[in-house]
């Protein structure tokens, strides 16, 4: 299981450590969104390709409010796609043969971590 941590300067992903990392705050992913479904990742599968859009309603991508990135967790590891303000919050990942999607995560600079299970 992937774990995300935050300090005052960064959001960090931990995929190897079995014990909590000291000195950092463990983030709990939100799974529902009362604000019009703008944050929960939407997953589409097309063969080995995984397409992740952020929200059922397009999320703002302005300097002051944007999606920083999308991460997919798979049975064999994971993949990350980073975004900048102005980018479309959509990512396409290709799974290795035999790999399977577990979950998709996204991080909003204002509203934190969000997750959708595969």
- Tens-place pLDDT, residues 65-117: 999 999 999 999 999 999 999 999 999 999 999 999 999 999 999 999 999 99
* Residue 87 exposed, middle or buried by CB count within 10 Å (0-12, 13-18, 19+): middle
pLDDT value of residue 2: 82
DSSP symbol at 75: T
Residues 6 or more apart from 101 whose CB is under 8 A from it? 43, 45, 50, 72, 73, 74, 95, 118
Per the prediction, the chain carries an average pLDDT of 89
Band (pLDDT 50/70/90 cuts) for residue 36 is: very low
**Per-position DSSP letters for 23-45, written without gaps between them:** TSEEPPPB---TTTS-SSEEEEE
Q: 30-117 sits in which CATH class?
A: mainly beta
**Which structure tokens are listed for 117?**
């299970």
């Amino acid at each position: 299981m992937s774990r995300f941590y935050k300090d005052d300067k960064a959001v960090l992903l931990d995929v190897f450590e079995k014990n909590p990392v000291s000195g950092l705050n463990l983030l709990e992913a939100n799974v529902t969104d009362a604000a019009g479904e703008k944050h929960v990742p939407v997953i589409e599968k097309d063969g080995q390709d995984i397409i992740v859009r952020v929200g059922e309603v397009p999320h703002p991508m302005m300097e002051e409010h944007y999606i920083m990135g999308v991460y997919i967790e798979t049975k064999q590891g994971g993949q990350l796609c980073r975004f900048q303000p102005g980018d479309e919050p959509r990512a396409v990942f290709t799974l290795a043969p035999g790999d399977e999607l577990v979950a998709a995560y996204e991080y909003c600079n204002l509203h934190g971590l969000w997750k959708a299970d595969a």
